[in-house]
Amino acid sequence: MTDREEVLSRVRSALAPLGRREALPDFEAGLCLPDGLSAVGGPEETFVERLRSVNGEAVAGPAALAVRLRAGGWTRGYCDPELWPGLAPHFGPDFSVETEFDLARIDDYSFGITRAAGAIAETGTIILDDAGTSRRLAALAPWVHVAAVPRSRIFATLAEGLGALGRDSNVIWVTGPSKTADVEGILIEGVHGPGVQIALLL
């Protein structure tokens, strides 16, 4: 008997004597909505507010992004080649931006700019998928990650986000910077992933 047959036959015989099995409950998606958290406006306003509440940041356009990166001292980085032509005019000569991510110099990039598939207002979440992300590592390894979020793709609720998972083989929801509280329960940001998470609204 293969392991597959062995496991499945054990499961079948474990369940065979059950008279009545628990039914699959049907439920309204609204049940999961935190009714104690009120939306602060439309999906975009709510997204920006919730992103802030998880220590993320939102910037309103390429010029504001350049200002924010310069203020942080992050002038060397990577940008998705499809996004760069639209951003480059707003970035001064003090920036050094590459559109190819060199794995051998992974620590040289202080920021990575990639495209997001959308966002979720309810939770302040940025949605990345394989189809839109030029490189998984460029959205993860640099200290600052900038996700270009189309304003037209901000879902109001987590349930809508689940409904939009689609067929992409890898979707990741990012809700704020990478964090840990493993050492004495003290919050530290930037563990393996970004210490600064920015949403660039386009």
Partner 1 sequence: MKFQPIDQAAAALGAEKRAAVQAGSKAGHEKRTKLLFEHYSDPDRLRRLAGEIKQHAIENLDSYLPAAEARLLANGAKVHWAATAGDACAAVLGILRSRGATKLVKAKTMVSEEIELAAFLEKHGIECLETDLGEFIVQLDGDHPSHIIKPILHKNRRQIAESFERHGLGTYDDTPEEITRRARRFLRHKYLEADAGLTGANFVVAESGRIVVVTNEGNSRFCLAATRCHIVLAGIEKIVPRDRDLGPLLNLLARSGTAQQLTVYTEFISGPRSPSQPDGPDEMHVIFVDNGRSEVLAGDCRDILRCIRCGACLNVCPVYRQAGGHAYRSVYPGPVGAVLSPLMLGGRFSEKADLPKASSLCGACNEVCPVNIPIPDLLLRLRARAQREGISSPGVPPFGAWSVLASRPAAWRAALIAGRAIDHIPTRLLPVPALRAWENTRTLPPWRGGEFRRWWEKRRKR
Applying the rule CB under 8 A, the residues between 121 and 150 that interact with partner 1 are 123, 125, 130-131, 133-137, 140-141
Q: Is 28 helix (H, G, I), strand (E, B) or coil?
A: coil
Least distance in angstroms from the C-beta of 36 to partner 1: 5
Give dist(CA 44, CA 154) in Å, integer. Answer: 7
Least distance in angstroms from the C-beta of 93 to partner 1: 29
Least distance in angstroms from the C-beta of 95 to partner 1: 23
Cβ(130)–Cβ(172) below 8 Å: no
Q: Does 152 bind partner 1 (CB under 8 A)?
A: no
Q: Does 36 bind partner 1 (CB under 8 A)?
A: yes
State the CB neighbour count (10 A cutoff) for residue 116: 25
Tell me the per-residue interface mask from 73 to 112 with partner 1, x by CB under 8 A, - otherwise: ------------------------------x--xx-----
Give dist(CA 150, CA 117) in Å, integer. Answer: 8
Least Cα distance to 151 among 65, 49, 42, 75 occurs for: 42
Q: Does 71 bind partner 1 (CB under 8 A)?
A: no
Q: Which is nearer to partner 1, 118 or 177 (CB)?
A: 177
State the CB neighbour count (10 A cutoff) for residue 33: 15
Q: Does 19 bind partner 1 (CB under 8 A)?
A: no
Least distance in angstroms from the C-beta of 190 to partner 1: 7
Question: Cβ-count burial of 161 within 10 angstroms (0-12 exposed, 13-18 middle, 19+ buried)?
Answer: buried
Sequence-ordered list of residues with C-beta below 8 angstroms from that of 123, at least 6 positions apart, any chain: 50, 158, 173, 175
Q: Which is nearer to partner 1, 29 or 67 (CB)?
A: 29
Give dist(CA 174, CA 49) in Å, integer. Answer: 15
Query: Which residue has 């996004």 as its token pair?
Result: 83
Q: Does 181 bind partner 1 (CB under 8 A)?
A: yes
Of 18-26, 41-49, 83-91, 111-119, the segment contacting partner 1 by CB under 8 A is 18-26
Q: Does 202 bind partner 1 (CB under 8 A)?
A: no
Least distance in angstroms from the C-beta of 22 to partner 1: 4
Q: Does 163 bind partner 1 (CB under 8 A)?
A: yes
